[in-house]
Structure 1
Amino acid sequence: MKICGIVCEYNPFHNGHVYHIQKTREITNCELLLCVMSGNAVQRGEFAIADKWTRAKAAIEAGCDLVIELPYPYVVQRGDRFAHGALRILALAGVQELVFGSESNDLHLLQQMAKDLEKRSTVTQKDISYAKALENTLNDKLSSNDMLGVFYIQEAKQYGIIPHTLQRTNQYHDVSLHSSIASATAIRKAYLEHRSIQDYTPMKTDSFHEHTWNDYYSYLQMFLATADNKHLASFFLMDEGIENLFKRQIQHPTFDDFLSACISKRYTRTKIQRTLLHLLTQTTKAEINALAPISYLRPLAFNAKGQAYLRTLSKQGITIASRFKDIPMPYRQLEMRSTIAYAYPFDAAKRQHILQRERLSAEVL
């Protein structure tokens, strides 16, 4: 059986993702399509506009067979670690080919960049962000998906997974709604501005919510003002003295003002948001350093074909974490804390529902 994979966030699931699914099946002629998807948190360092179960269901309804969750510690990470976790899961699931969106749609170029990157021992450079250091290392400015593509290619190589590119129909950060396929950024922006998005996503907007960093800012102000620097420095991604910067700027009245004051050549918006998200979930460096490699698959949604394939994988000795308690304890603890943080802005009844849903199994769709 030919198994193909997609790495995604679906924040939210939209018409461009439907196109990606259709073209992936066309390009690979696969018999089963599997997605590795971020959970309630996403890589840009914030919470998704709709919960993971709803987004996974939308993917199945659009033509995927199986959606597997990318564990929280690999979601809220820079691109190379995000790709490392995602490709590890694809390999565990027996995926043979991967199709990813690309601004350049030049697989040969991205493969060459992946080879060039392998020759460098590090891309870290003082006083600039990792993304900028990567561009300097490769002597090229990469768009968001091409940069991720380089990391996907690096990781895919070690597992023998064949990569394919698909031309993106818009730019990742495009905020305009000028065609039937709009970026997730544009759709989120339009939703928060109470504009209609029904032409751009098959998802029902009653599953969306205005879940922003403003909901957490008063808590962050209190925490950063009262915690000592040694304690703050124990949290994951709290490096290079960034806790001092946070403490200096936390007096700003709004999160947007705080964020603007913190952004620099060294600290990008996403770096800051990821760091703060790990602070919210109390993720420590010690916890991340002690994590064993991913050894399980947690299904979020599947159809009958996906369910049958999960049984096949289980017979092959792959751990299928169908129940929350089947997830290895260190990962389970981090996943639950991320769910608690995600549920924080809702009323008591909704929070309880979200926490209860986390402990339930996925259902066949």
Structure 2
Amino acid sequence: MATAQLAGRRPLWPLIRQYMTVFDGPLAIIVFLIFAVSTITMYSAGLDFPGRVEDHLRNIIVSFVIMWIAAVVPPQTLMRFALPIYTVGVALLVAVAMFGLIKKGARRWLNVGVVIQPSEILKIAAPLMLAWFFQKREGMIRWQDFIIAALLLLIPFGLIAKQPDLGTAILVGAAGFYVIFLAGLSWKVMFGLVLAGGASLPVVWSMLHDYQRARVMTLIDPTTDPLGKGFHIIQSMIAIGSGGVAGKGWMSGTQAHLEFIPERTTDFIFAVYSEEFGLIGNCVLLVLYLLLIGRGLLISANAPSLFSRLMGGAITMIFFTYAFVNMGMVSGILPVVGVPLPFMSYGGTAFVTLGLGIGILMSIQRHRKLVQT
């Protein structure tokens, strides 16, 4: 009787395996390693913030759940929702501009029963919409289509920049630009855009808010206001430099634990990591990000449809933008614009957005294999 019952039971591993195979193995391992590094760093950076590590672990779990859900959804299904998601996202941005909540001088949030930040939706919705747009015109893309795509991108970009939220606007603009570029934008046009952008700098400067101009001036010479606007940059550069080659050791960073580094669990967590793990640790983290980007580009290159290739390529390059901008601003080579370090900085919204992006890449890879079989 007992033997018959055991024979009727299915082994546990095959049951688990059918749910785990939705993950792309190499990509999942890379992300897991970054999560491990981020948890170790957050434990040290968040000592003076009760519950911060627990919340960070919760965000990691939520991110994995989002990855799994996104990996299960076929790219074709995702494409069908591109226009509705983009439309809802832009409508919410308009609602924010009209009657959004104001915090610290910025109108970025909307109360719809719960307080949300609609601009986060456009980090995925904008490239999703543009990828859908070019998929519909596959094989007959004209120069007019690039103009329409640019307008579709400028609408959310302008609404987000007006809030003001320059960091998110840059990320949304970059994500959309990557789609337009991968769709076949001419290098001549890009060169012309660079020249036009350079010529328009005086106009752009006049449109910036006072605090945004101060960030640019602080980048040029942070010592002009060492205890004010230049404090973040100066202290983070000291932390990075004092880490040396091998670092001061885990939980031994003086700049972090003496509270000289502001926002050390969020935008400036790279300074904490650099001080404690030094140049060697930085190289390890850079290799992990490069592996993530390389795997994402490989998945995108082998995708079966134009939509999947454009969407996958844009998501992969947005990870590069996140990492480059964050490390650049913490190192003092870019202005401070409030961009988190992927899967390292504390923040639930960023984890959800980035987890969704990784999940979409896994979906592209998984359903390509299903098509081939």
- Tell me, yes or no, whether TM beats 0.5: no
Whichever structure has more strand as a proportion of its residues is: 1
TM-score by length of 2: 0.25
Whichever structure has more helix as a proportion of its residues is: 2
TM-score by length of 1: 0.25
Larger Rg: 2
